[in-house]
Chains A and B, each alone.
Chain A
């Protein structure tokens, strides 16, 4: 079974800075099934990126995703105050069908 490891666990940055979040899979996975979510306290997760690099509907272009194989990255080009939240990566494994989440990266205001 695939294990997703996100790093860092906590990232402290200031508004206007660039954020780079990493998600590493325990074995090579399909980029077609790689997604990223944002979650704020008391809210449901929100889909940001699917298929490794496609932005979901309504997601600002400061959010971008990249990667392949075992390494995937979510980049926020210029942090806005509303971007401080917890971010999760997710992968789908088809054999057997499983949906795996990383443990999350907390993006906090420095």
Chain B
């Protein structure tokens, strides 16, 4: 069974840092591009960052550019999101998602909540 399991969310103060992890299983992780997508409470979906299967290419939304870094360890089948200089508007549930042909996301994790507040 294809599965994604996020971890690392929690409460952090504005200006702080947090690293999210996403453990993958049931598919050839190194062959799949992956993304992080977030959803603020009660709002819609926002794509955050993407990374190629090899990890050689990464892409970020303007809202997080220069603050968030996506990476992966294919030997551990794990995706990461390093989040620095966090702001209140970064408060959201963060999902990791597996990309398929057509740049669609066919598998999603259950999400991890990040709350940025004093």
Contacts and interface: CB of A to CB of B under 8 A. Distances in A.
A85 interface: no
> Chain B interface mostly helix, strand, loop or mixed?
strand
Contacts of B100: 50
A96 interface: yes
Interface of B: 35, 37, 44-47, 50, 59, 61, 95, 100-106, 108-111
Contacts of B104: 33, 35, 47, 50-51, 56, 90
A92 interface: yes
Q: Ordered nearest first, which 6 A-B pairs have the shortest CB separation?
A: A92-B103, A50-B104, A44-B108, A99-B47, A35-B104, A97-B59
A34 B110 CA distance: 23
Interface string A83-110: 0000010101000111111111000000
Contacts of A92: 102-103
Contacts of A97: 50, 59
Contacts of B46: 101
14 contacts: A32-B102, A35-B103, A37-B105, A44-B111, A50-B101, A50-B104, A51-B102, A56-B106, A88-B44, A90-B104, A96-B59, A98-B59, A101-B37, A101-B44
